[in-house]
Amino acid sequence: MSESRKSKVPSAAEFAVFKEDRRKLESSLAASRKAQDRLTKERDLYRDFIERANEGVIVIQDMTIRFANPRMREMTGYAAGELTGMPFERIVQPEEFPRMVDARRGAAGGENAAAIYSGALKSKSGDTVWVEFTCGITEYDGRPAEFLIIRDITDLKALRDRFLSAQKMEITARLVGGIAHDFNNLLMAIMNYSAFIKSELGPNSPSYHDVEEIGVMGSRAAALIKRLLIFSKPQALDVLSVDVNKQLVGMEKMLCHFLREDIEIVILPEAKNAMVEMDPSHLEQIIMNLAVNSRDAMLEGGRFTISADNRSFGAREKLGEFFEIEAGKYLVLRFSDTGAGMDDKIKKYIFEPFFTTKNDGRGTGLGLSTVLSIVRLYHGGIIVESKPGRGTTFEIFLPVSHKSSARKDEDLLDAADIRGSGETVLVVEGVTAVRDVITRMLSRLGYNAIAARHAEEALVVADLSKIDVLLADVVMPRMSLKSMTAQIRKLHPEARMIFMAGYAQSEELKEVVSDGKDGFLQKPFIEAALAKKIREILGKNT
């Protein structure tokens, strides 16, 4: 064998270099595997984050959805795989699409990349999903793409809208309360001065009916203010035992004139116990507001039915979406129409203040919210049943009363028959015209009337004179009503008190009314009402 064909044995130095190179290669491969494992774990971690995220995540490429996480599918109602490959436009409400595209382009161009945008998506069922989203740039299958991180704010927006509605109602309540106080004082003077003139003219006078009409218009204006006050905070109410069966029958003629001729009215007053404890004007508001609602739902005519019956509950029970009512016996007023009906989406918002589906200016959005406020005031409940094309039924639940609607004999008496016997009535009223009207009525009724302009003047009078009845406005200048009444009670422990107001919240009266011994008169009131209230209060002395 020749020398040239013999294998060359590496030297020790060469072998050492080879071992070092191998070690480096193995180390590099190990590091590469470690890095690959780390990347795989991070990828799996990020994928897990995206799959479990409470926000929707989508990747858009060429205006087409390439990826959507489970939350995005849940948000829009699509099954796994349905969103992938779908045009982005299909899941956006048409009116919101241009704005959402502009927001994406702005973020893609680096403008306000961290900004949060809002918009409205369209679910598979067509419902609106209100969202907030952020945008960013990514790469998908080696090509540029955009990703959106989307948060469902539908419930939050509904809560925000309700809060704004509540603020509107609070502003409305303050405005109405302020107007009511001043306006009822004006009506107090108008109604009673016209009554004074009427009593002096006699029925044969040419001006008698004109003056009488002034009083009638004043009463109607007072009723209007009372209706507006339902939107204010709880106030003193004129609660009576009302026979709903009789009320329905009595309103039938008015409803016939109020509704259109192409609407048939059916009234079925069949409740065995038709008595409820409430302000009669509130019952009228419920009936008229629901009648209006049904009339506007039957544009081509139909049938409007009001029925009354009874139902009992053995335990506290959830009633519809808005109420829980206590165990007991209830009167059920059922209002049914054959109108257009409504779907669950609309039904969800019908009791929201200012919500209306009437786009032609016919509706204010306050009718059903008024009904809701009244029913809550009397611890009742409402059930609504409606389907598109199948009409609507409202069931109003009101606790029944076991009192009779028959009035006491004294309630049937005329003011002239309920006269005083010279008792002293201290009148505390800041408005001159109202103060003069009240003192004149008291004098006509046989009482000794003493007038005071404010609390300080009233205390001076009370210190010098015997007082049988204090008749005071709830709004007291210079001193609180509570402070004034406390001092007068010390001076005259046997004196009875009647409080009056154009607008008074029930909390204010609770602070001064003494264990049911005192009375309240809602302005504007007439001479007969004043006479009966004083007789009632003085009767509690015996």
Question: Which pLDDT tens digit goes with each residue over 46-74?
Answer: 677 778 788 899 998 988 999 999 999 99
What Å distances lie between residue 513 and 174, 356, 481, 498, CA to CA?
Answer: 24, 41, 11, 9
3-state class (DSSP) for residue 339: coil
Residue 7 within a domain: no
Q: In 3D, which of 522, 535, 521 has the Cα closest to residue 445?
A: 535
What is the C-alpha to C-alpha distance for residues 476 and 472, in angstroms, rounded to an integer? 8
Cα angle: 300, vertex 304, 306; to 5 degrees? 170
426: containing domain: 409-539
Looking only at the bridges linking them, the beta strands covering 496-501 and 469-473 are: parallel
Two tokens at 471? 């008749």
Residue 6 within a domain: no
pLDDT band at residue 504 under the 50/70/90 scheme: low
- Judge contact between 382 and 397, C-beta under 8 A: yes
pLDDT, tens digit (0-9, with 9 covering 90-100), for 245-302: 988 888 888 788 778 889 999 999 888 888 998 888 788 889 988 998 899 889 888 9
**How many residues does this entry show for the chain?**
542
**pLDDT value of position 337:** 93
CATH code: domain of residue 216: 1.10.287.130
**pLDDT value of position 334:** 94
pLDDT, tens digit (0-9, with 9 covering 90-100), for 70-119: 999 999 999 888 999 999 889 988 888 887 777 766 666 555 555 678 88
**pLDDT value of position 363:** 56
Q: Are residues 383 and 430 in the same domain?
A: no
- Judge contact between 124 and 76, C-beta under 8 A: yes
Residue 142 within a domain: yes
Is 50 exceeded by the pLDDT of residue 411? no
Distance of CA 470 to the CA centre of its chain: 37
Is 80 exceeded by the pLDDT of residue 13? no
Q: In 3D, which of 504, 496, 538, 540 has the Cα closest to residue 521?
A: 504
State the average pLDDT over residues 518-542. 83
pLDDT band at residue 448 under the 50/70/90 scheme: very high
- Provide the β-strand partners of residue 56: 150
Is 80 exceeded by the pLDDT of residue 540? no
pLDDT band at residue 412 under the 50/70/90 scheme: very low
Residue 257 within a domain: yes
Q: Are residues 261 and 388 in the same domain?
A: yes
Is 50 exceeded by the pLDDT of residue 242? yes
CATH code: domain of residue 141: 3.30.450.20
pLDDT band at residue 20 under the 50/70/90 scheme: confident
Q: Are residues 506 and 468 in the same domain?
A: yes
State the average pLDDT over residues 469-488. 87
Q: In 3D, which of 298, 207, 211, 306 has the Cα closest to residue 255?
A: 306
User: φ, ψ for residue 533 (rounded to 5)?
Assistant: -65, -40
**pLDDT value of position 413:** 45
What's the total number of domains in the chain?
A: 5
Q: Are residues 218 and 272 in the same domain?
A: no
pLDDT band at residue 232 under the 50/70/90 scheme: low
pLDDT, tens digit (0-9, with 9 covering 90-100), for 338-372: 998 988 878 877 877 666 766 554 555 677 888 88
Is 70 exceeded by the pLDDT of residue 233? no
Distance of CA 297 to the CA centre of its chain: 22
Is 70 exceeded by the pLDDT of residue 335? yes
The H-or-E segment that residue 92 falls in is: none
**pLDDT value of position 424:** 93
Contacts of 361 (CB under 8 A, 6+ apart): none
What is the C-alpha to C-alpha distance for residues 276 and 243, in angstroms, rounded to an integer? 7
- Higher confidence at residue 358 or residue 386? 386
Q: Are residues 194 and 291 in the same domain?
A: no
